[in-house]
């Protein structure tokens, strides 16, 4: 009886192991490539969504104030001698200033012109140093609050005159008192190290607030009514409006020229907060200039036109 001296082969040969390892590395490389690509796509989509969100938020904040430019409360009475409610400044990034009422008004319970004070319901929120517009819907004046005393459920507001004289025939009992303020919007360096949209409230003391991060540049054009029909005829820069380079009705002073503005067009350049999103520096065009930055942030431009409700037809 013959017996085989050999044994059955078990395990893998070296060649089979090399082939299996190669296939595994190819599959692993494919998985890593897919994961890397998905991560890059996710970062790009997240950055784009955040940029669009920041632009919408910035336009919402700016629109709210701009639409109310020129609103002076009760009866729409404009105090004599007040500065124009809207004014811009051309710079590397444009800025603009809005003047007008701020918040809701309260009813004036009584007014003593001789003692230069008036009473409003307690808790109205007036503080010393604030500027207040008072109106009886026929005349209006701007006052500076010098002191507030609460007594018998009323706030007694003492004041100094700023614009107009609320003595004599001008009494504003049963009228309206409402705070007015000056708000400036500009681009500055944000806390996270990227440019941001800021608001400066000119009061005592002035306060600045970072509103929206990632706003790199803001350029503004002002829609001007040149013929008095309350519709936009030209879009000009702030310098064009103020300098008199173009004819506006019969305006001979800067206040008249700014009061001819009936809308505002705002262009924003928004950048991603994080760097390294793009594979290489992203060339962009904004305000007629083509720029290739040194970083690898994403950038996108946004534009909107805001009508001034108290100016336009």
Q: 43 or 3: which carries more pLDDT confidence?
A: 43
pLDDT score of 21: 84
Shared domain check, 170 and 185? no
Give the whole-number percent of the chain exceeding pLDDT 70.
Answer: 88
Q: 153 or 311: which carries more pLDDT confidence?
A: 153
pLDDT band with cut points at 50, 70 and 90 for residue 169: low
In a domain, 18, yes or no: no
Shared domain check, 213 and 192? yes
Give the whole-number percent of the chain exceeding pLDDT 90.
Answer: 39
In a domain, 12, yes or no: no
Q: What is the dihedral of CA 121, 112, 180, 210, to 10 degrees?
A: -60
Give the domain range for residue 87. Answer: 47-99+181-307
Contact 131, 183 (CB under 8 A): no
Shared domain check, 259 and 219? yes
In a domain, 159, yes or no: yes
Task: Pick the closest to residue 199 from 76, 102, 312, 302 (CA basis).
Answer: 102
In a domain, 163, yes or no: yes
Task: Name which of 42-46, 139-143, 192-196 the model is least confident about.
Answer: 139-143
pTM of the full structure: 0.78
* Domain tally, the chain: 2
- Please, how many CA atoms are within 13 Å of residue 38, restricted to the half-sphere of its CB? 6
**For residues 45-51, average pLDDT:** 93
pLDDT band with cut points at 50, 70 and 90 for residue 143: confident
pLDDT score of 75: 61
pLDDT score of 312: 65
pLDDT score of 20: 81
pLDDT band with cut points at 50, 70 and 90 for residue 196: very high
28-47 pLDDT tens trace? 888 787 777 777 788 889 99
What is the DSSP-derived secondary structure letter of residue 80?
A: T
Task: Name which of 7-21, 54-68, 116-130 the model is least confident about.
Answer: 7-21
Shared domain check, 143 and 206? no
- In the predicted model, is pLDDT for residue 264 greater than 90? yes
Domain boundary pick from 174, 198, 231: 174
Shared domain check, 290 and 186? yes
Q: What distance, in Å, lies between the first and last C-alpha atoms of the chain?
A: 117
Shared domain check, 67 and 159? no
- In the predicted model, is pLDDT for residue 167 greater than 60? no
Output Rg (C-alpha) for the chain, integer angstroms.
Answer: 32
CA distance linking residue 23 with residue 6, whole number of Å: 32
Task: Name which of 135-144, 147-156, 273-282 the model is least confident about.
Answer: 135-144
Average pLDDT, the chain: 85
CA distance linking residue 273 with residue 270, whole number of Å: 9
**For residues 193-211, average pLDDT:** 87
pLDDT score of 230: 84
Shared domain check, 116 and 62? no
The domain that holds 163 is classified in CATH as 2.30.130
Angle at 220 between CA 253 and CA 271, to 5 degrees: 160
pLDDT score of 77: 67
81-114 pLDDT tens trace? 677 788 898 888 999 998 878 777 889 999 888 8
Shared domain check, 114 and 92? no
Task: Pick the closest to residue 265 from 225, 302, 231, 212 (CA basis).
Answer: 302
Q: 77 or 31: which carries more pLDDT confidence?
A: 31
Shared domain check, 209 and 68? yes
Shared domain check, 284 and 233? yes
217-260 pLDDT tens trace? 999 999 999 888 888 999 999 999 988 777 887 788 888 888 88
- In the predicted model, is pLDDT for residue 158 greater than 80? yes
In a domain, 40, yes or no: no
């Amino acid at each position: 009886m013959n017996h085989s001296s050999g044994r059955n082969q078990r395990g893998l040969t070296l060649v089979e192991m090399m082939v299996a390892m190669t296939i595994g590395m190819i599959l692993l490389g494919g998985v890593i490539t897919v994961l890397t690509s998905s991560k890059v796509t996710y970062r790009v989509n997240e950055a784009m969504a955040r940029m669009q969100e920041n632009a919408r938020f910035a336009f919402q904040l700016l629109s709210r104030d701009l639409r109310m430019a020129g609103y002076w409360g009760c009866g729409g009475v404009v105090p004599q001698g007040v500065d124009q409610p809207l004014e811009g400044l051309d710079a590397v990034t444009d800025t603009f200033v809005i003047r007008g009422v701020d918040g809701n008004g309260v009813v004036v319970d009584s007014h003593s012109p001789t003692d230069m004070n008036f009473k409003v319901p307690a808790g109205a929120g007036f503080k010393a140093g604030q500027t207040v517009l008072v109106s009886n819907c026929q005349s209006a004046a701007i006052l500076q609050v010098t002191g507030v005393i609460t007594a018998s459920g009323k706030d007694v507001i003492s004041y100094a005159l700023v614009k107009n004289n609320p003595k004599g025939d001008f009494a504003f009992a049963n009228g309206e008192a409402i705070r007015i303020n000056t708000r400036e919007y500009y681009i500055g360096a944000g806390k996270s190290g990227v440019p941001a949209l800021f608001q400066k409230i000119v009061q005592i003391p002035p306060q600045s607030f970072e509103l929206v991060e990632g706003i790199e540049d803001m350029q503004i054009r002002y829609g001007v009514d040149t013929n008095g029909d309350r519709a936009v005829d030209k879009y000009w820069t702030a310098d064009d409006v103020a300098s008199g380079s173009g004819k506006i009705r019969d305006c001979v002073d800067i206040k008249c020229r700014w009061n001819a503005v009936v809308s505002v067009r705002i262009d924003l350049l928004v950048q991603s907060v994080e760097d390294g999103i793009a594979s290489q520096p992203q060339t962009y065009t904004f305000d007629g200039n083509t720029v290739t930055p040194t970083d690898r942030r994403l950038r996108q431009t946004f534009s909107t036109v805001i009508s001034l409700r108290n100016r336009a037809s």
